[in-house]
Chains A and B, each alone.
Chain A
């Protein structure tokens, strides 16, 4: 029964990674850049939910909606101010800017919220249920996290396949100039991608801190890096890849903590990543990128 409990905890953590990985993978797919500030948007989202719930006493759902709206706006603003002027710049310039934005957000949070961790109240009131005569306990947090993750993932896949803005996203990810010639507004499409990614980051922040309630300005950075790993693991640019990568990473991390060593868990996670990339450099579902001649 212990194994099943770990597995469910792993899937729950992995679902959060998958939600964060979505933000990385969509932005990479469309803008061809790694937005390293993404993890810090999660932290801001968690703080926003915390302030709405614990300081203002708003209901959890309302708090999350406010956080989604604010993070969406933050995502769009970051893209407009920091990344848009670099659209034709080298990848390295964009990467350094992204790291800069990440530090900026962390330090802004330090100034506003201070460095002491706050104790996050779970957005899920339901405590969960027990199976097999109390031997297998499943927390409400885990159930809600996993279900939310799957609903969002399938909604997003549907959106990209069947709606006009979704199709514009696919076209822009394939070829920006050709997309412009079709009448697609490339800048608006990139903004939309940042908006969706950042909105999902708010949800991920709330779910992450519901399971791991200590919130400080650096809370987003480690899950951010792991989710980026998950995105690469699943094949960067692929939405189902983010789901598979995230879930696998979460399960590996929890099982390694439980059965091998909690100190070595992160090392094991990244070792698995290295092995996967050695065997399949494009990630599990990644596409082979053909160089045009």
Chain B
């Protein structure tokens, strides 16, 4: 579904990604874990066209999307829930969700998506006329996820969805990610909460200062000694 080949990304003199390769198969939940500054966010931003790589390729269902501008990638079936949620604070919840469907034109299909998203996130429906900036952190995260799903993506990238949330919301957000996966959307998840991420992922890649140092089945990684030490705090 998604294939990343030898991706190198530079910020000026600093090399953030030093040639990483990985792939995501249809229907999988893939976790990308690693410490701060490992290059997780950079990876997602490069895939969705927000950053352009120095070299390497990103293939979405076989099509090379490396040079395609960010705003055209959404309609190819890839959505990105950015780090820090980035909801439109001055717009209402309803307007935010409408923005998510910006690339779609069929009104009946958009209405269906609204129903589906309100079913998964009843709280968003309750607050649909409220300004997004007034929502709590957890509600904003739900809105950011709902907004991304409004484009009816086949694959969704999620950047630190649990960051800064209370434990109750963290559990809820991970439940929702599992639901999204069960509904048939492929998920590429970036998380610092490695334990939670590995618990719901099929496979995982471990990123360290711009390199993939370890990869494998999530269950196997969960029992890996070096992972336990470095990321699971055991």
Determine whether the beta carbon of B91 is less than 8 Å from that of A164. no
Of the candidates A164, A180, A183, A186, the one having the most CB atoms from chain B within 10 angstroms of its own CB is A183
Determine whether the beta carbon of A170 is less than 8 Å from that of B71. no
List B contacts of A178 (CB < 8 A).
82, 86-88
Q: Given contacts A167-B95, A167-B99, are A181 and B88 in contact (CB under 8 A)? A: no
Choose the segment among B24-32, B72-80, B168-176, B190-198 that binds chain A (4+ C-beta atoms closer than 8 Å): B72-80
B81: nearest residue on chain A (CB-CB)? A181
Of the candidates B80, B88, B90, the one having the most CB atoms from chain A within 10 angstroms of its own CB is B88
Question: How big is chain A's contact interface, by range?
Answer: 20 to 34
Report the interface size for chain B: residues with CB under 8 A from the other chain: 29
B148: nearest residue on chain A (CB-CB)? A181
B230 on interface, CB distance cutoff 8 Å: no
Determine whether the beta carbon of A181 is less than 8 Å from that of B75. no
In whole angstroms, what is the CA distance A183 to B72 when docked?
A: 6
List A contacts of B34 (CB < 8 A).
none
State the majority secondary structure of interface residues on A. Answer: helix
8 Å CB interface, A153-179 against B: 164, 167-168, 170-171, 174-175, 177-179
Of the candidates B69, B72, B84, B102, the one having the most CB atoms from chain A within 10 angstroms of its own CB is B102
Partner of B86, one of A168, A175, A186: A175
List, sorted by A's number, 9 A–B pairs whose CB atoms are closer than 8 Å: A170-B95, A174-B91, A175-B86, A178-B82, A179-B99, A180-B71, A181-B50, A181-B70, A182-B102
14 new A-B contacts at CB < 8 Å, known A180-B49, A181-B79, A181-B80:
A167-B98, A168-B102, A170-B90, A171-B99, A174-B88, A175-B88, A178-B86, A180-B70, A182-B100, A182-B102, A182-B151, A183-B72, A183-B103, A292-B84
State the B residues within 8 Å of A (CB).
48-50, 69-72, 74-75, 79-80, 82, 84, 86-91, 95, 98-100, 102-103, 133, 147-148, 151
